[in-house]
């Protein structure tokens, strides 16, 4: 009897080990990698000698979907004069400047950046464009450094996958957005066999993973914002829950 139980236990253990081995062998090497940010993803932006003009050419080319569709994207946000908008990871600032126009002199736009080169560039643009309603904010990799409940809408275009500590950044965003306010995230589709290799490796996870992370931080998905012809990206609109 004892022998029978021992051999049955051994058989179960062997079967379980085999299943574990097989599932490890079948795991896709490039499946979602929620904890696997590509090394040095922000190094170029943080470098002291970054070339802002090079990024202006890259970010502000009509072949870049989000740039080509910038007016439609801003229109879809339904901003009204007096609103406060935070452009997280503002980069060269082309969205910030459109937001500044939409919210007018009675509104506010925060351009949040961690890159010294972009911060310097945004400060110069604020002065040359005479944008009193535009405030440049130095964020960190863990915080957007905005005041509590200071923002009606936070906008994150092509930046979420650059967050090095997404949980901490999301917590700071949750605090910065007023209850009931909005978080809009533009990200790249990441679909195996469809998405090109560069984006597939550069963006750590799929829409489903990003959505789940953001919801876990106290946001509710309200809708997808659909823009005709914006093929490489999706746009998610979340509401901040209490
Ligand atoms: C690919 S660029 C996108 C810039 C701009 N949003 C656009 O769509 O043109 C990513 C930007 O995110 C910034 N970034 C990365 N991590 C950040 C963080 N935790 N907080 C704020 N900005 C961040 C980088 O410095 C860089 O300017």
Interatomic CA distance for residues 67 and 61, integer angstroms: 7
Map out the domains of the chain as residue ranges.
41-240
| pLDDT interval class at 113 (50, 70, 90) | very high
CA of 162 to the centre of ligand 1 (A): 7
- Beta bridge partners, 45, equal none
Partnered with residue 59 across adjacent β-strands are: none
- Dist CA 154 CA 145 (whole Å): 13
pLDDT tens sequence across 122-160: 999 999 999 999 999 999 999 999 999 999 999 999 999
pLDDT for 238: 98
Q: HEC profile for 58-110? A: HHCCCCCHHHHCHHHHHHHCCCCCCCEEEEECCCCCHHHHHHHHHHCCCCEEE
Ligand 1 atom with the shortest distance to the CA of 141: 19
Residue 1: its pLDDT value, please?
Answer: 46
What superfamily would CATH give domain 41-240?
Answer: Vaccinia Virus protein VP39 (3.40.50.150)
**Distance, CA 158 to ligand 1 centroid (Å)?**
7
Q: Ligand 1 mean position to 136 CA, how many Å? A: 13
pTM of the predicted protein model: 0.88
- Whole-number pLDDT of residue 31: 58
pLDDT band at 21 (very low <50, low <70, confident <90, very high): very low
pLDDT at 25 over 60: no
Task: Kindly report, residue by residue over 175-202, the tens digit of the pLDDT.
Answer: 999 999 999 999 999 999 999 999 999 9
- Cα 194 to averaged position of ligand 1 atoms, centre (Å): 25
| Token digits of residue 86 | 């935070």
Q: What is the C-alpha to C-alpha distance for residues 204 and 106, in angstroms, rounded to an integer?
A: 38
Residue identifier of the C-alpha nearest atom 19 of ligand 1: 141
Q: Looking at the predicted structure, is the pLDDT value of residue 80 above 60?
A: yes
- Ligand 1, CB cutoff 6 Å, lining residues: 42, 45, 59, 66, 88-91, 112-115, 118, 139, 141, 157-159, 162-163, 169
Cα of 112 from ligand 1 centre, angstroms? 8
CB neighbours of 86 closer than 8 A, spacing ≥ 6? Answer: 109, 110, 112, 137, 144, 146, 150, 151, 153, 154, 155, 176, 177
Q: What is the mean pLDDT of residues 5-11?
A: 51
Report which protein residue has its CA nearest ligand 1's atom 27.
91
For residues 32 and 209, the answer to whether their CB atoms sit within 8 Å is: yes
pLDDT at residue 5, rounded to an integer: 47
| Predicted pLDDT of residue 136 | 98
Q: Kindly state the tokens that stand for 187.
A: 């990200």
Give a three-class secondary structure readout of 217-236: CCEEEEEECCCCCCCCEEEE
Handedness of CA 129, 135, 139, 143 (dihedral sign): negative
Percentage of the residues of the chain whose pLDDT score is greater than 90 = 84
Say how many C-beta atoms besides its own lie within 10 A of residue 10's C-beta. Answer: 10
pLDDT bin (cut points 50, 70, 90) of residue 94 is very high
d(CA 44, CA 58): 13
Higher pLDDT, 230 or 3: 230
**pLDDT surpasses 80 at 12:** no
- Give the pLDDT confidence score for residue 3 in this predicted structure: 46
- Residue of 190 and 15 predicted with greater confidence: 190
Closest residue by Cα to atom 23, ligand 1, is: 89
């Amino acid at each position: 009897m004892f022998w029978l139980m021992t051999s049955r236990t051994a058989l179960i253990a062997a079967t379980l080990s085999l299943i574990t081995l097989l599932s490890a062998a079948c795991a896709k090497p490039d499946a979602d990698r929620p904890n696997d940010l590509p090394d040095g993803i922000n190094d170029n932006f943080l470098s002291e000698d970054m070339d802002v003009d090079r990024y202006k050419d890259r970010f502000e080319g009509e072949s870049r979907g989000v740039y080509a569709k910038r007016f439609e994207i801003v229109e879809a946000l339904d901003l009204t004069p007096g609103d406060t908008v935070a452009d997280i990871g503002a980069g060269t600032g082309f969205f910030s400047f459109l937001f500044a126009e939409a919210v007018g002199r009675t509104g506010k736009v925060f351009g949040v950046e961690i890159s010294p080169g972009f911060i310097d560039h945004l400060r110069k643009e604020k002065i040359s464009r005479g944008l009193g309603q535009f405030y440049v904010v130095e964020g960190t990799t863990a915080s957007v450094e905005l005041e509590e409940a200071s923002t009606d809408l936070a906008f994150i275009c092509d930046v979420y996958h650059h967050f090095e500590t997404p949980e901490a950044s999301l917590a700071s965003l949750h605090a910065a957005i007023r209850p009931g306010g909005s978080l809009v995230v533009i990200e790249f589709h990441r679909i195996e066999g469809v998405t090109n290799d560069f984006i597939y490796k550069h963006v750590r996870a799929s829409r489903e993973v990003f959505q789940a992370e953001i919801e876990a931080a106290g946001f509710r998905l309200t809708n997808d914002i659909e823009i005709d012809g914006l093929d490489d990206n999706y746009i998610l609109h979340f509401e901040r829950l209490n």
